[in-house]
Structure 1
Amino acid sequence: MELLVPTVSDIIFKYTWTIANYKKAISKKHNFDSPSFDLNVNGIHSTWNLSIRFWKGPEGKRIRNPVVLCLNIQNCTVEEVEQAKVRFQFAVFNAEVNYWEYCHVSRTILELRSSSDIISLGYRDLCIVDRHLKKNGELSVMVKIQIIQCDSEKHTLSQDMARLLKHPQSADTKLIVADENLEIQVHKCVIAARSDVLANMITPLEGNELEEKDVLLDDLKKKSLIDECNSSDIKHKLELRDLSKDVIEELLRYMYTDHVDNLDTLASELLSLSLRFRLQGMKELCERSLTETITPENVATRLLLADEYGCDILRRASLAYCEENAMNITKNFAWKMMEQVNPELFNEVCEAGMGSSKSSNIDSE
């Protein structure tokens, strides 16, 4: 088992399971279970394993391909019952080109309690073919696991700040986004402390803005509403009308807690915002997520992002990936775009190991 991320709040574990002489093994066994491995993080002590199971056909016969790779928690010890989000991702090793083929990331919410009951958290169908087997018949599968304790559990600073965002009784600023029906209440001091760019975008909320909402109100009712507005704690506004609700939620989550939940789908957008609002920590989170999820299909896009936003780690990782997997790189539209708009980067990639494929050679379709 390997620890991938050194910070306690974002610990990701990687466990690799190797099965010797796989084809021979499945002809004799109907079930496979990996050795157990332990995870200890933030007071949660748990034991896990991987297992391979098989589907059955209409006649009850075992289907050998695809197989079902499962993640199971075998036992758990906690001081008190609490909820946690578990994020995991399976992969199978491609022995022909020496790289991991990753499955989509899966998430589940688990109620953690001291128990020795086995719980299966999720599974993925895997087609095991010749490219996955080494010359000696060995198969390697892997899982990455991240345990994220829910906000209501322990009173760390980030969890208390998350509650402050969720229940903003002392908020003094309204955040206006693309959805006209949504106004999010936030705290000017938090926003200003995190980003000097956003701090300069916060403006006073004046009483005449309320008057403009309905010029047909009679004077008595208008005065009442203006007085109500002036007595409210909301004294400022911050307009980010070009951002969607999902992006705003993750941006605020980072600014209050230093965490982002949906990097799998929003890393590219948040990377752009991290430079726009000078959020170096969020940039590092996005860059790390993009680096960990490089595939033959997206490596060109990763290189373009790294070049545009000055992500040196992502750039070096993508170049190394191209060098190691040159024969397996998918030549998609991103390569054509790179060749046309950034020929220097394209040539650098070619020199890194794709020299035999000096042109992007995109089909007309």
Structure 2
Amino acid sequence: MELLVPTVSDIVFKYSWSIQNYKKTVAKNSLIDSSSFDLNVNGIHSSWNLSIRFWKGPEGKRITNPVVLCLNMLNCSVEEVEQAKIRFQFAVYNANINHWEYCHVSRTILELKSTSDIISLGYRDLSIVDRHIKKTGEVMVMVKIQIIQCESERHSLSQDMAKLLKHPRAADTKLICAGMSNEEIPVHASVIAARSDVLADMIVPVVMENNGEMNYRYVLELPELSRDITEELLRYIYSDHVDNLDTLVSQLLSAAERYRLQGLKELCERNLIETLTPENVASLLLIADEFSCDALKRASLAYCEENAMSINKSFAWKIMEQVNPELFNEVCEAGMGSSRSSNIDDSELT
């Protein structure tokens, strides 16, 4: 176990698991568990392990590739029950280029309490192929874990503002979203206007109406946004937090750019940078260019340079070459190899 970021509040741990004679181990064992490892941070004492489990095919036969890599908390000891955010990321070692291949970052919220019950925090399908197997037959997998305690956030401005969104008795604005559904959310004009000058200009006065429940002085129409996206956008506007960034990041990035919410845009960029893989780097470069995400673009170009040998010329590269040749040439110059062609037939674009 290795301490990566020695900060006071957010400490990231790294645990690497070496699986010897991987092919034979997987073939002979239906349950594979790593040794346990301990995390002790800010009064939280816990033990963890990694495990490999297997899916079954339609005929009930065990599938050995991909495997299911699981993160488990074996036990926990705390003085008082408290809520915490758990952030983790799996990786598998590429033995051909001596580089870790990272999976997407996962997040969950867990009520931490003293227990000896095993809790599975999450899993990821993981394909183990020849490039991951060393000449000795060994395979290396790894997990990064971050426990973020929520106690310090209680009674903070962001927490109290989030409560204001949940209890909108003083709301003076009717936000209408979700297209033809015309779903309504009560909000506060002063909060919205303070966070976005674009949204401020979209708030218009209405004739005072009394439906027996709520009086509105203003209306804000966002028909292009779904209810889910609108709720996450409001959560950020009121509290600087987003709960479902992993699943809604592309839509939220678009909204952040449209309504000039720079802080939300930076959150989205950081999230996308964490998900860079050989398969999606071309798509993320196109997103970075479309929304002027400088940090994401720099990270993606650096990723291309560092991982040139493992990046395949996918359909997204052909799209880039056709619709954004300047970006394509910039990537090639960053070290994507001597070939300046995506090597995909133009007919595939149809």
Report if TM-score (shorter chain) is over 0.5: yes
The aligned amino acid for 2:48 is N
Is contact 1:67–1:127 with CA below 8 Å preserved after alignment?
yes
Is contact 2:17–2:34 with CA below 8 Å preserved after alignment?
no
Q: Distance in 1 between matches of 2:8 and 2:187?
A: 27
Is structure 2 residue 317 aligned with structure 1 residue 318? no
Flag the 1:277–1:7 CA change in 2: closer, same or farther, 3 A: farther
- SS of the residue aligned with 1:357? coil
Within a 5 Å distance, the mapping from 1:1-365 to structure 2 comes to 1-3=2-4, 11=10, 13-19=12-18, 21-23=20-22, 26=25, 31-38=32-39, 40=41, 45-53=44-52, 55=54, 67-84=67-84, 86-103=86-103, 106=106, 108-147=108-147, 154-179=154-179, 180-207=181-208, 226=209, 228=210, 232-363=214-345, 364-365=347-348
Instruction: Quote the offset at 1:283 in angstroms.
Output: 1.1
The aligned amino acid for 2:184 is E
Instruction: Quote the offset at 1:66 in angstroms.
Output: 5.3
Using the TM superposition, name which of 140-149 and 165-174 deviates more: 140-149
Using the TM superposition, name which of 298-307 and 102-111 deviates more: 102-111
Q: Share of identical aligned residues, percent?
A: 64
Gaps of 5+ in 2: none
Flag the 1:174–1:48 CA change in 2: closer, same or farther, 3 A: farther
The aligned amino acid for 1:47 is S
Deviations 1:281-322 (A, max 9, x none): 111111111111011121111112222222222111111111
Deviations 1:16-59 (A, max 9, x none): 3141644499499874324514153xx6614242223455999x
Q: Distance in 2 between matches of 1:149 and 1:330?
A: 40
Structure 1 or 2, whichever has the larger Rg, is 1
Instruction: Quote the offset at 1:250 in angstroms.
Output: 1.2
Q: Distance in 2 between matches of 1:161 and 1:5?
A: 30
Q: Distance in 2 between matches of 1:342 and 1:65?
A: 37
Flag the 1:292–1:104 CA change in 2: closer, same or farther, 3 A: closer
Q: Distance in 2 between matches of 1:232 and 1:175?
A: 13
The aligned amino acid for 1:90 is F
Q: Distance in 2 between matches of 1:56 and 1:276?
A: 43
Is contact 2:176–2:184 with CA below 8 Å preserved after alignment?
yes
Is contact 1:86–1:108 with CA below 8 Å preserved after alignment?
yes
Q: Distance in 2 between matches of 1:157 and 1:88?
A: 27
Q: CA RMSD in A?
A: 3.5
Flag the 1:49–1:347 CA change in 2: closer, same or farther, 3 A: same
Instruction: Quote the offset at 1:134 in angstroms.
Output: 3.3
Gaps of 5+ in 1: 208-225
Q: Distance in 2 between matches of 1:252 and 1:67?
A: 38
Deviations 1:60-116 (A, max 9, x none): x99866554321223334453344554443221222234443445555553321234
Flag the 1:117–1:143 CA change in 2: closer, same or farther, 3 A: same
Is contact 1:177–1:244 with CA below 8 Å preserved after alignment?
yes
Q: TM-score, normalised by structure 1?
A: 0.79
Flag the 1:2–1:342 CA change in 2: closer, same or farther, 3 A: farther
Instruction: Quote the offset at 1:176 in angstroms.
Output: 0.8
